């Protein structure tokens, strides 16, 4: 719901409406707090867009209309936040945000300290499996061509 939308609420249903509305906002806030750990300079609107996209990717475009239903969103968000639920849309996407955040930090460190790039590569390759080192060698060999 945007700030410009007007909603008519019947008095008899107001308590239920505000319950689901508040519960949804609290769950969204909890998820956004996790997201903000790995996203810098990202505003509230972009975080909302990311959550919306993740919802549509998870539930499908045919169910995109449920984004406007606070009760349905509370059910989805609760499912996404559950500690024992590792394989879900939000956890997967937050792991991607975390990975990208770490890669950006590494890129920045190497860019700011180019003299440590070679030492870093040696250190990293020492902690790889032989198949990973083979893959890196293949990638490096293809970079010259």
Structure confidence by residue, pLDDT tens digits, 46-101: 999 999 999 999 999 999 999 999 999 999 999 988 877 667 899 899 999 999 99
The pTM for the full model equals: 0.73
In a domain, 16, yes or no: yes
Using one digit for the tens of pLDDT, what is the confidence trace for 87-132?
Answer: 789 989 999 999 999 999 988 888 888 888 888 888 888 999 999 9
pLDDT digits (tens, 9 = 90+) for 27-46: 999 999 999 999 988 899 99
Neighbours of 71 (CB within 10 A): 15
In a domain, 69, yes or no: yes
Question: Is residue 54 included in any domain, yes or no?
Answer: yes
Domain annotation covers residue 124: no
pLDDT band at residue 10 using 50, 70 and 90 as cut-offs:
confident
Q: Is residue 49 part of a domain?
A: yes
Query: How many domains is the chain built from?
Result: 1
CB burial of 5-38 (b: ≥16 within 10 Å; e: otherwise) equals eeeeeeeeeeeeeeebbebbeebbeebbeebeeb
Query: The domain containing residue 37 runs over which residues?
Result: 11-112
The position carrying tokens 């990202």 is 42
In a domain, 43, yes or no: yes
What tokens appear for 123 in the block?
């250190």
**129 in any annotated domain:** no
Answer whether 81's CB lies under 8 Å from 27's CB: yes
Q: Would 84 be classed as within a structural domain?
A: yes
To the nearest 10°, report the CA torsion of 142, 143, 144, 145.
Answer: 60
pLDDT > 70? residue 11: yes
What is residue 137's predicted lDDT score, i.e. its pLDDT? 87
């Amino acid at each position: 719901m945007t700030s410009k939308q007007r909603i008519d609420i019947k008095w008899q249903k107001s308590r239920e409406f505000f319950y689901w509305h508040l519960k949804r906002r609290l769950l969204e806030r909890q998820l956004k707090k996790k997201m903000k750990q790995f996203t810098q300079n990202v505003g509230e609107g972009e975080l909302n867009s990311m959550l919306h996209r993740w919802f549509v990717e998870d539930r499908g475009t045919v169910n995109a209309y449920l984004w406007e239903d606070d009760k349905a969103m509370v059910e989805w968000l609760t499912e996404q936040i559950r500690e024992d639920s590792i394989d879900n849309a939000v956890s997967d996407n937050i792991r991607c945000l975390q990975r990208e955040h770490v890669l950006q930090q590494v890129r920045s460190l190497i860019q700011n300290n180019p003299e440590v790039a070679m030492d870093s590569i040696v250190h990293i390759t020492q902690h790889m499996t032989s198949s990973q080192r083979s893959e890196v060698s293949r990638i490096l060999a293809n970079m010259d061509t």
